[in-house]
Structure 1
Amino acid sequence: MMMSNLPQDLVEEILYENSAIYLQKRSICKNWNALSKDPIFTNNYIRNVAASGEREFLMIKEFSVYLVGVNLHGIQNNNVGLSIKRKGRLISMDNTVRRFCISQVFHCNGLLLCVSGKNMDNNRLAVWNPYCCKPKWIKPTRYTYYGTAERFALGYDKSCGSHKILRLFGDNLNNIEIYDLSSNSWRVPNVTLERDIVYMQQGVSLKEKTYWYARDKESEDKYLFSFDFTRERFGPRLPLPFMYFDDVSLSVVKEEQLAVLVKRWDTCEMEIWVTDKIEPDVSWSRFLKVDIKPRFDFANFAVIDVEKKVALVFDKNEAEKLQSSYSIAYIIGEKGCFKEVDLGESPYTPLSCLACSYVPSYVQLK
Structure 2
Amino acid sequence: MHIDKISAGESMMVVVLMRYNLYLMNVVLVVNEDPLIECKGQLTCLDKQNYKISHVFHCDGLLLCVLKDDYTKVIVWNPYWGQTRSIECRYSVGPNRWFWFSYALGYEDKGGSSCRAYKFLRFIDQFVGYEDNFIWYEIYDFESSSWKTLDVITPHWRINLYERGVSLKGNTYWLASPRNSYEGLDNHIICFDFTSESFGPLLRLPFDAGDDATVTLSCVKEEKLVVLFTHYELEGPLEFEIWISTKIEAEKVSWSKFLRVVDAEFEPLISYDCFFIDEEKKVAMSFEDAYPTKFDIVGEAGYFKKLELGERLGRDIKWMQHACSYVRSLADIKQHAAAGGKRKQQSELEKQ
TM-score, reference length from structure 1: 0.76
Shift of 1:185: 1.6
Residue in 2 that maps onto 1:236? 201
Q: Residue 135 of structure 1 aligns to a residue in which SS? A: strand
Specify which of 178, 184, 189 is matched with residue 145 of structure 2: 184
- Conserved? CA contact 1:84–1:341, under 8 Å: yes
Deviations 1:232-284 (A, max 9, x none): 11011111111135211111112221001111142411111100112132111
Residue in 2 that maps onto 1:142? 91
Q: Residue 95 of structure 1 aligns to a residue in which SS? A: helix
Q: Distance in 1 between matches of 2:260 and 2:21?
A: 32
- Conserved? CA contact 2:107–2:118, under 8 Å: yes
Specify which of 257, 262, 278 is matched with residue 286 of structure 1: 257
Residue in 1 that maps onto 2:267? 295
Q: Residue 199 of structure 1 aligns to a residue in which SS? A: coil
- Answer 1 or 2: higher relative contact order, Cα 8 Å, separation at least 6: 2
- Conserved? CA contact 2:16–2:23, under 8 Å: yes
Deviations 1:163-183 (A, max 9, x none): 001001253461011011111
Q: Distance in 2 between matches of 1:230 and 1:286?
A: 30
Q: Residue 169 of structure 1 aligns to a residue in which SS? A: strand
- Conserved? CA contact 2:71–2:93, under 8 Å: no
Residue in 1 that maps onto 2:244? 274
Q: Which runs of 4+ in 1 moved over 6 A?
A: none
Shift of 1:348: 7.1
- Worse-superposed segment, 135-144 or 340-349: 340-349
Q: Distance in 2 between matches of 1:64 and 1:347?
A: 11
Q: Residue 226 of structure 1 aligns to a residue in which SS? A: strand
Residue in 2 that maps onto 1:310? 283
- Conserved? CA contact 1:227–1:233, under 8 Å: yes
1:152-167 correspondence to structure 2 within 5 Å: 152-159=103-110, 161-167=116-122
Specify which of 114, 119, 136 is matched with residue 65 of structure 2: 114
- Conserved? CA contact 1:299–1:314, under 8 Å: no
Residue in 2 that maps onto 1:9? none
1:1-366 correspondence to structure 2 within 5 Å: 21-23=1-3, 49=8, 52-73=9-30, 75-76=31-32, 81-93=34-46, 95-96=48-49, 98=50, 100-117=51-68, 120-121=69-70, 123-146=72-95, 147-159=98-110, 161-169=116-124, 171-172=126-127, 174-192=135-153, 194=155, 197=158, 199=160, 201-216=163-178, 218-221=181-184, 222-244=187-209, 246-266=213-233, 267-279=237-249, 280-292=251-263, 293-296=265-268, 297-303=271-277, 305-316=278-289, 328-336=294-302, 338-342=304-308, 353-366=321-334
Q: Distance in 2 between matches of 1:227 and 1:182?
A: 19
Residue in 2 that maps onto 1:4? none
Deviations 1:33-84 (A, max 9, x none): xxx6xxxxxxxx89x52xx3211111112211111111112x34xxx61011
Aligned residue type for 1:227 = F
Q: Distance in 1 between matches of 2:29 and 2:119?
A: 34
Q: Distance in 2 between matches of 1:188 and 1:258?
A: 28
- Conserved? CA contact 1:326–1:342, under 8 Å: no
Q: Distance in 1 between matches of 2:149 and 2:16?
A: 32
5+ long unaligned stretches in structure 1: 1-20, 24-35, 37-44, 318-324
Shift of 1:336: 3.8
Shift of 1:106: 1.1
Instruction: Give identity over the alignment, percent.
Output: 37
- Conserved? CA contact 2:106–2:118, under 8 Å: yes
Aligned residue type for 2:330 = Y
Equivalent residues, number: 305
- RMSD, aligned α-carbons: 2.6
Q: Distance in 2 between matches of 1:168 and 1:256?
A: 25
Q: Distance in 2 between matches of 1:213 and 1:121?
A: 28
Aligned residue type for 1:268 = L
Change (3 A) 1:357 1:264: same
Change (3 A) 1:265 1:346: farther
Q: Residue 262 of structure 1 aligns to a residue in which SS? A: strand
TM-score, reference length from structure 2: 0.78
- Conserved? CA contact 2:60–2:329, under 8 Å: yes
Shift of 1:123: 4.5
- Conserved? CA contact 2:71–2:92, under 8 Å: no
Q: Distance in 2 between matches of 1:330 and 1:192?
A: 43
Change (3 A) 1:336 1:142: farther
- Conserved? CA contact 2:2–2:44, under 8 Å: no
Change (3 A) 1:122 1:211: closer
